[in-house]
Amino acid sequence: MSEKIVFTRGVPPPEAFPTGDLGECFDAAVREDANVVLQYGQQQGYPPLRRALAAEYGVEESEVMVGNGSLQLQDLLSAHLITPSGAVFTEQPSYDRAIATFRRRGARTVGIPLEEDGISVEKLEEALEKEVPAFLYLVPDFQNPAGATLSLEKRRRVVELSEEHGFWVVEDIPYRKLRYAGEDLPLLRSFGGSRVVTISSFSKLLSPGIRVGFALGPAGLISALTRLGEYTYLSPVLPTQAAVSEYIERGWLEPNIERLKELYSPRLSTMAEAVRRELPDAQAFIPDGGFFVSVMLPEGANTENLVGRAKDVDLVLTPGSAFFADPLDDEPAAGDRFVRLPFCAVTPEQIDEGVKRLAGLL
């Protein structure tokens, strides 16, 4: 049997975890602020961490909520904003768990085609003629699953449209700080709209297991989410939030991000080269950061039971259709031809071998 190669979940590899340093911060955080950290309360999150995030993003503390990972915040937001028979718009393809969350909360989830420079604004405008969603969910930087980054012009236009039509824009940015080349583009919130919510977490910068995520939005929305959080889990997990706060205060976050970039950047280059070499006819999305390269296989490719046949050659793939919401038009979604290729938790050798195996199946 050959070595199993896993191209499924976008998780950090074990060598990415700053175990010793984070352990030290846990210890300090719990000992030094035990009365707060080990107690119920602080439903909006650990105050020093909220203060640090408010300063970083230039918002008031009342506009920051820190919760148990960003996915739970997405769920609270969905519970709060989704109306019966209402819609949520996403990019098409989009993050599979987000699509599942919106559907579970009762939203018809409609996918607006994604282009190399982000969501198709033309298609978004077309969709808005028909209905206005509760919110538009975007991963503007190094998108999961495709890797695309939303252009400057489109960022501006999306915020304008949210004001014109009255829908929220949720920008989910867990990969934003993992940029290996090029320059940052402004956050959507920086265009000044009153209906932008920013969600992110420390899952990809420190550890997903600590479950520290945050949401930034208008104070009224943040208090509503905080109340919902309180009814759901009573009080967020404060020791991990305090450890992250300590880690940031010690000035360790930036150097850790630099270390991660050095670890991941060669993996991205290897994946990009392997895709260009082995899958020359596929439309490839090669990002400047994040965790994912992706390909849209050519129409003639043999995609019949691709995930099953990949398993037979010890290659684990996520079914492309998991990333597809309801199509905007009647046109069937191209999920069968879409393959997400996470590159961070695999070695360069596994990347080369895995892409070669994939090409052999087509």
Ligand X SMILES: Cc1ncc(COP(=O)(O)O)c(C=O)c1O
- The distance from CA 86 to its chain's CA centroid, rounded to whole angstroms, is 23
**Is the CB of 211 or the CB of 357 nearer to ligand X?**
211
**Is the CB of 92 or the CB of 303 nearer to ligand X?**
92
Q: How many residues bind ligand X (CB under 6 A)?
A: 13
Q: At what angle do helices 253-278 and 238-249 cross, to 10 degrees?
A: 100
The verdict on 201 binding ligand X (CB under 6 A) reads: yes
Contacts of 340 (CB under 8 A, 6+ apart): 7, 144, 145, 146, 292, 294, 318, 320, 323
The verdict on 226 binding ligand X (CB under 6 A) reads: no
CA dihedral 310, 313, 315, 316 (to 10 degrees): 60
Contact window for ligand X (CB under 6 A) among 14-22, 56-64, 107-115, 200-208: 200-208
Q: How many CA atoms lie within 13 A of 304 on its CB side?
A: 2
Chosen residue from 113, 133, 213, 320 binding ligand X by CB under 6 A: 213
**Is the CB of 10 or the CB of 18 nearer to ligand X?**
10
Min CB(174)–ligand X separation in Å: 5
Residue nearest to ligand X (CB): 201
Min CB(243)–ligand X separation in Å: 15
Instruction: State which of positions 116-145 bind ligand X (CB under 6 A).
Output: 139, 144
Chosen residue from 71, 88, 114, 128 binding ligand X by CB under 6 A: 71
Contact window for ligand X (CB under 6 A) among 21-29, 48-56, 64-72, 255-263: 64-72
Q: What is the CA radius of gyration of the chain?
A: 20
Min CB(158)–ligand X separation in Å: 17
- Mask for 81-100, x = binds ligand X (CB under 6 A): --------------x-----
Min CB(345)–ligand X separation in Å: 12
Min CB(149)–ligand X separation in Å: 13
Instruction: State which of positions 9-48 bind ligand X (CB under 6 A).
Output: 10
Instruction: State which of positions 163-192 bind ligand X (CB under 6 A).
Output: 172, 174
**Helix or strand or coil: residue 133?**
coil
**Is the CB of 43 or the CB of 201 nearer to ligand X?**
201
Contact window for ligand X (CB under 6 A) among 59-67, 69-77, 83-91, 111-119: 69-77
The verdict on 229 binding ligand X (CB under 6 A) reads: no
Q: DSSP assignment of 42-72, as one string?
A: -TT--HHHHHHHHHHHT--GGGEEEES-HHH
In this structure, the chain runs to a length of 362
- Mask for 240-259, x = binds ligand X (CB under 6 A): --------------------
**Is the CB of 170 or the CB of 334 nearer to ligand X?**
170
Contacts of 122 (CB under 8 A, 6+ apart): none
**Is the CB of 162 or the CB of 203 nearer to ligand X?**
203
**Is the CB of 144 or the CB of 240 nearer to ligand X?**
144
Bond prior to 348 in cis (omega within 30° of 0)? no
The verdict on 70 binding ligand X (CB under 6 A) reads: yes
Residue 161 tokens read as 């449209």
Q: Report in angstroms the alpha-carbon separations of 189 from 129, 192, 217, 218, 342.
A: 24, 6, 9, 11, 28
The verdict on 198 binding ligand X (CB under 6 A) reads: no
Residue 95 tokens read as 């993050």
Instruction: State which of positions 275-334 bind ligand X (CB under 6 A).
Output: none
Distance (Å, whole) CA 156 – CA 256:
31
**b (16+ CB within 10 A) / e for 220-247:** ebbebbbebbeeeeeebbbbbbbbbbbb
Distance (Å, whole) CA 40 – CA 233:
11
Chosen residue from 12, 18, 45, 69 binding ligand X by CB under 6 A: 69
Other CB atoms within 10 Å distance of the CB of residue 250: 12
Q: Which residues bind ligand X (CB under 6 A)?
A: 10, 69-71, 95, 139, 144, 172, 174, 201, 203, 208, 213
